[in-house]
């Protein structure tokens, strides 16, 4: 099996795992077409794109942690974290819009599965990110 085929198996597993965990829920919320386009984007990801997604995730989370410590969601650092978060989302979404960006960060607050993930960065971080993204999207 070539490296490309092996990696394609990896991305297919990512999509399959996500479908098992969240498929019904995200299809109900966003519609089959949106989910299928996102799944296709992940399946078609190259190793370089996946590596970039991992790098961006780490960078935006580190930036977010530092911004959270400063305490100002309107700060330059917080807004940089929001921009990095947007770039990361765009690797998985086929179409970015501000309403969806604000919506996903509200979900991070509302859904404990995601809130817990962000609160591991720092307690209250999910709320901070939501507030920072609201400012980011308003500009």
Q: DSSP string spanning 33-45?
A: HHHHHHHHHHHT-
The pLDDT tens digits along the chain (139 residues) read: 677 778 888 999 999 998 998 888 888 888 899 889 999 999 999 999 999 999 999 999 999 999 999 999 999 999 999 999 999 999 999 889 999 999 999 999 999 988 999 999 999 999 999 999 999 999 8
Take residue 96 and report the two structure tokens written for it: 């970015």
Residue 134, Cα to own-chain centre: how many angstroms? 15
Query: Rounded to whole angstroms, how far apart are CA atoms 66 and 51?
Result: 23
Single pTM value for the model: 0.88
* Paired tokens of 42: 């992940």
């Amino acid at each position: 099996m070539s490296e490309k085929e092996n990696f394609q198996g990896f991305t297919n597993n990512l999509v399959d795992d996500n479908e098992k965990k969240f498929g019904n829920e995200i299809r109900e919320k966003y519609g089959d077409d949106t989910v299928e386009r996102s799944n296709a984007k992940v399946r078609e990801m190259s190793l370089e794109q996946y590596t970039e997604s991992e790098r961006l995730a780490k960078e935006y989370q580190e930036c977010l942690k530092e911004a959270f410590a400063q305490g100002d969601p309107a700060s330059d650092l917080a807004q940089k974290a929001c921009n990095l978060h947007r770039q990361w989302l765009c690797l998985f979404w086929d179409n970015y819009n501000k309403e969806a960006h604000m919506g996903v960060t509200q979900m991070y607050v509302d859904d404990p599965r995601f809130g817990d993930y962000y609160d591991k960065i720092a307690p209250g971080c999910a709320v901070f990110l939501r507030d920072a993204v609201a400012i980011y999207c308003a500009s």
